[in-house]
Chains A and B, each alone.
Chain A
Amino acid sequence: MTSQTQNLSRSRGRAPLVTLSGALPWLICTLFLLLMPLIFTSNSALTIMNQMAITIVFALAYNMLLGQGGMLSFGHAVYMGMGGFMCVHLMNYVEDMSLPIPLPVLPIFGGLFGMGVALIVGSFSTRKAGTVFAMISLGVGELIAACSVIVVAFFGGEEGVSGDRTYGLPVFGIEFLHQIEVYYLTAFWLVLSALLMFLFSRTPIGRMANAVRDNPERAEFLGYSARWVRFYSFVASGFFAGIAGGLFAVNYEILTEENLNLATSGSILLVTFLGGVGFFFGPIIGAILFTLLQTVLSLQTEIWQLYLGVLFVATVMFFPGGLAGVIMMHALPMRLGKAGLLIKPYFKTLVPAVISMAGVAAVLEILYHIRHAALGENEMTLFWVSFDSHSPLPLILAVVAMVAGFWLARRGAPEMAEAWHKANTPDGGAV
């Protein structure tokens, strides 16, 4: 053990609490977050990064349930939305009655409110895990989303509740007029809540959540109540979802029914699962990727949600570990120093696969254009080429690319499988 780690740790005969290798990713990420606005200076980039940060907090909170506790929720948007609504109301109170609450601490109130709602709902929904829990979360989510149109006093009806973040007390002269100030506020809360969530997963209660996820009966035999363990995870998750809601309120200054409904709850499940539920950093990757896909793809194509749906179903069927799972699958070849073996087969299989997918996308786009474009509008642009969508040549080309790519990828697959097997076997035969 190096002297640095010993300085950092306050160990009393146990493993050190804070090690350099443990703290390094956090420091790098924090530094990265601080430097990002210097690289991407445009306002739209800041908007995207804010959105990313909020999604990351929410996805991490969601993964406390799904990944660490094994509880599938179809109504988690409720806790984020409730926290957000509370924060907008607080913002308005600050404006109307000049309450001495500075803006940066607002998310904590959102968190507390989200936690309060989770306390109530969790008291009966965490009795069972699995399907029953999922159904209750769905029902409660729909109930609250439907209530939001009726209870106008709190939810503002159809048009939602809006506020203005700049009326609060200035903090060190900052009034949060500019996007960049909001960015640093969001980044601060992102790092803080991510760190807290990570530490939560390392506490005994976080460990017990894993045990209850894997084998509730055994955990009960050890003397832990599976129900209470689930309840604690649920409440903690509600707290962090509320923080995400508070950040949303600060960033967008408006909350509507859309923040509570099933579509939002479903998309956070999508984000988390695509990123990978098995690892702590999975949802982070998922949130970054999803936000990018959403902003970039939706500008390029009208049917991006179809691609997203295909990607999601394919992930569930073939890569249940998500993107993080795929990345971590390569940890063993890396450790064995055999990752180099994989490069060539990957190249030979994945390049045709990508071409094939581009072909499929082209076919879909052309068909969609033929079917849904305005009458007489035959011109379309795809992959930076403009052509007449009704002429057969582009369609034929796309089909050829699709079939040929698939055939080549199929041919390279056995080689890739063999290389994969080799790369995962240590020298000297048996594992």
Chain B
Amino acid sequence: MDLILVNLIDGLVTGLLLFMLSAGLTLIFSMMGVLNFAHASFYMLGAYFAYQISMFLGFWMGLLIAPIVVGVLGALVERYGLRRVHQYGHVPELIFTFGLALLIEEIVQFIWGKDQMPYSIPEVLNFTALSIAGNAIPAYKVFMIFTSVAIFIALLYVLTRTRVGMIIQAALSYPRTVEALGHNVPLVFMGVFGVGTALAGVAGVIAGPVLSTFPGMALVLGSIVFVTIVIGGLGSLWGALVASLLIGWITTFAKAYNIRMEDILTGIGFEKPVDLSEHMLRDLWTITSPQIADILPYLLMVLILVFRPYGLFGKRDA
């Protein structure tokens, strides 16, 4: 029971981290109809910038400044890159963001090299917050949870309760009408793109110390983020939240409990072959759940796409 609680918290941390990325991505998608392939690269930039700033000004200034820098970079990319490519159609836009992801990875390697950065948890948060049946929960995890929840609530408040949020929501559904009412819709788009990438930057800043800051970190998380928003339904914020948490918990529990395929198969009534070494299905017999934890999200995505192509919360036409 205690172990379940610990895993629930671990999964929640992973899920909320995923959500910070997928929230920005799904917002940008519902606005421009393009998936930002470089989204995880902005997450990586957030971590690297924060590391660089923390060397001089400490962790907290990094948390404050790095996302702003990333957001400004994102807005510039939208203004001078994406808007230009937009005229060619959606597929070139996607290719552009893909190229951007490659380029950012190369630039990061150019500046910081291929090695992992010694970006670490600040001293203030380096203690055990609480322990559940002998399992320590570090304070940093609690901090991660609270930061992401705070950001989510702030985002929700801005989107649903403020004038700016109303204009954004209106611009998502009826850009032309909103433009006719005198609002600068391209500016709104640029702003949302900037905020989306800044969110990814925040995720990078707080995930960098625990998931390690290295040039491959964008690739590791990047495809999972896409999977998340496809499962949740492209363009749906609630879908992104549910899918993020779902993926966070599924992978955590699959890693924590060693469920063996052998037990399942014998449980159903199959007989284990005596000599496995040359058996055709030997890999099926030896699979364990920690082994396949990382591919479960992809499996889930394929299943969702086959049985519910528009995702959990997506609109039928999306």
Determine if B283 and A143 form an interchain contact, defined as CB atoms under 8 angstroms apart. no
Interface residues on A, range: 35 or more
Q: Which of B81, B92, B99, B302 counts the most chain A CB atoms within 10 A? A: B99
Determine if A368 and B110 form an interchain contact, defined as CB atoms under 8 angstroms apart. yes
Tell me the complex Cα distance, A152–B291, Å: 13
Determine if A309 and B102 form an interchain contact, defined as CB atoms under 8 angstroms apart. yes
For B84, the closest partner residue in chain A by CB is: A317
Tell me the complex Cα distance, A97–B282, Å: 21
Interface residue A131 (Cβ < 8 Å from any Cβ of B): yes
Interface residue A281 (Cβ < 8 Å from any Cβ of B): no
Determine if B94 and A131 form an interchain contact, defined as CB atoms under 8 angstroms apart. yes
Determine if A142 and B309 form an interchain contact, defined as CB atoms under 8 angstroms apart. no
Do A146 and B35 form a contact, CB below 8 Å, given A124-B305, A131-B94, A139-B230? no
Determine if A128 and B99 form an interchain contact, defined as CB atoms under 8 angstroms apart. no
Interface residue B227 (Cβ < 8 Å from any Cβ of A): yes
Tell me the complex Cα distance, A317–B87, Å: 10
Q: Which residues B66-116 have CB closer than 8 A to chain A?
A: 81, 84-85, 88, 90-92, 94-96, 98-100, 102-103, 105-107, 109-111, 113
Interface residue B243 (Cβ < 8 Å from any Cβ of A): no
Determine if A303 and B298 form an interchain contact, defined as CB atoms under 8 angstroms apart. no
Determine if B95 and A269 form an interchain contact, defined as CB atoms under 8 angstroms apart. yes
Among A131, A142, A316, contact of B34 (Cβ-Cβ < 8 Å): A131
Q: A262-B223, A320-B92 are in contact. List 18 more A-B contacts (CB 8 A).
A: A124-B309, A131-B29, A135-B226, A138-B223, A138-B226, A139-B230, A142-B227, A142-B295, A150-B283, A152-B283, A309-B99, A309-B102, A309-B106, A313-B81, A313-B99, A313-B103, A317-B81, A320-B85
Tell me the complex Cα distance, A150–B282, Å: 11
The residues of A that contact B81 with a CB separation of less than 8 Å are 313, 317
Q: Which residues B285-318 have CB closer than 8 A to chain A?
A: 287, 291-292, 294-295, 298-299, 301-302, 305-306, 309
Interface residue B234 (Cβ < 8 Å from any Cβ of A): yes
Determine if B223 and A309 form an interchain contact, defined as CB atoms under 8 angstroms apart. no
Interface residue B165 (Cβ < 8 Å from any Cβ of A): no
Do A143 and B110 form a contact, CB below 8 Å, given A134-B35, A135-B226, A313-B99? no
The distance from the CB of B230 to the nearest CB of chain A, in whole angstroms, is 5
Which residues of B pack against A, CB within 8 Å?
Answer: 29, 33-35, 81, 84-85, 88, 90-92, 94-96, 98-100, 102-103, 105-107, 109-111, 113, 219, 223, 226-227, 230, 234, 280-283, 287, 291-292, 294-295, 298-299, 301-302, 305-306, 309
Among A124, A147, A153, A313, contact of B282 (Cβ-Cβ < 8 Å): A153
Among A130, A135, A320, contact of B230 (Cβ-Cβ < 8 Å): A135
Interface residue A14 (Cβ < 8 Å from any Cβ of B): no
The residues of B that contact A364 with a CB separation of less than 8 Å are 110
Determine if A131 and B298 form an interchain contact, defined as CB atoms under 8 angstroms apart. no
Determine if A151 and B283 form an interchain contact, defined as CB atoms under 8 angstroms apart. yes
Among A128, A131, A136, A316, contact of B92 (Cβ-Cβ < 8 Å): A316
The residues of B that contact A140 with a CB separation of less than 8 Å are 298, 302
Determine if B106 and A306 form an interchain contact, defined as CB atoms under 8 angstroms apart. yes
Determine if B102 and A142 form an interchain contact, defined as CB atoms under 8 angstroms apart. no
Q: Which of B91, B219, B294 counts the most chain A CB atoms within 10 A? A: B91
The residues of A that contact B280 with a CB separation of less than 8 Å are 153
Determine if B103 and A316 form an interchain contact, defined as CB atoms under 8 angstroms apart. no
Determine if B95 and A316 form an interchain contact, defined as CB atoms under 8 angstroms apart. yes
Determine if A132 and B234 form an interchain contact, defined as CB atoms under 8 angstroms apart. yes
For A213, the closest partner residue in chain B by CB is: B91
Among A132, A139, A273, A305, contact of B223 (Cβ-Cβ < 8 Å): A139
The residues of A that contact B309 with a CB separation of less than 8 Å are 124, 127-128, 132
Determine if B305 and A136 form an interchain contact, defined as CB atoms under 8 angstroms apart. yes
The residues of B that contact A371 with a CB separation of less than 8 Å are 111, 113
Determine if B301 and A273 form an interchain contact, defined as CB atoms under 8 angstroms apart. no
The residues of B that contact A153 with a CB separation of less than 8 Å are 280-283
For A368, the closest partner residue in chain B by CB is: B110
Determine if A303 and B110 form an interchain contact, defined as CB atoms under 8 angstroms apart. yes
The distance from the CB of B81 to the nearest CB of chain A, in whole angstroms, is 6
Tell me the complex Cα distance, A138–B96, Å: 16
The residues of B that contact A262 with a CB separation of less than 8 Å are 219, 223
Interface residue A107 (Cβ < 8 Å from any Cβ of B): no
The residues of B that contact A127 with a CB separation of less than 8 Å are 309
Tell me the complex Cα distance, A316–B84, Å: 10
A149-161 interface bits toward B, Cβ cutoff 8 Å, 1 = contact, 0 = none = 0111100000000
For B281, the closest partner residue in chain A by CB is: A153
The residues of A that contact B234 with a CB separation of less than 8 Å are 131-132, 135
Determine if A312 and B110 form an interchain contact, defined as CB atoms under 8 angstroms apart. no
- A to B CB contacts below 8 Å, 14 in the list: A131-B33, A131-B35, A135-B226, A136-B305, A140-B302, A146-B298, A153-B280, A153-B281, A303-B106, A305-B106, A306-B107, A309-B103, A313-B99, A313-B100
Tell me the complex Cα distance, A316–B93, Å: 8
Determine if A310 and B94 form an interchain contact, defined as CB atoms under 8 angstroms apart. no
Tell me the complex Cα distance, A371–B91, Å: 37
Tell me the complex Cα distance, A136–B107, Å: 28
The residues of B that contact A139 with a CB separation of less than 8 Å are 223, 226-227, 230, 298, 301-302, 305
Tell me the complex Cα distance, A66–B89, Å: 13
Interface residue A286 (Cβ < 8 Å from any Cβ of B): no
Q: Which of A127, A134, A269, A303 counts the most chain B CB atoms within 10 A? A: A134
The residues of B that contact A270 with a CB separation of less than 8 Å are 99, 102
Please name the 6 residue pairs, one residue from A and one from B, whose CB atoms are nearest each other, closest first: A309-B103, A143-B298, A306-B106, A146-B295, A313-B99, A312-B99
The residues of A that contact B109 with a CB separation of less than 8 Å are 306
Q: Which residues A110-148 have CB closer than 8 A to chain B?
A: 124-125, 127-128, 130-132, 134-136, 138-140, 142-143, 146-147
Determine if B110 and A306 form an interchain contact, defined as CB atoms under 8 angstroms apart. yes
The residues of A that contact B113 with a CB separation of less than 8 Å are 371-372
The residues of A that contact B105 with a CB separation of less than 8 Å are 309
Tell me the complex Cα distance, A238–B19, Å: 35
For A66, the closest partner residue in chain B by CB is: B91
Interface residue A77 (Cβ < 8 Å from any Cβ of B): no
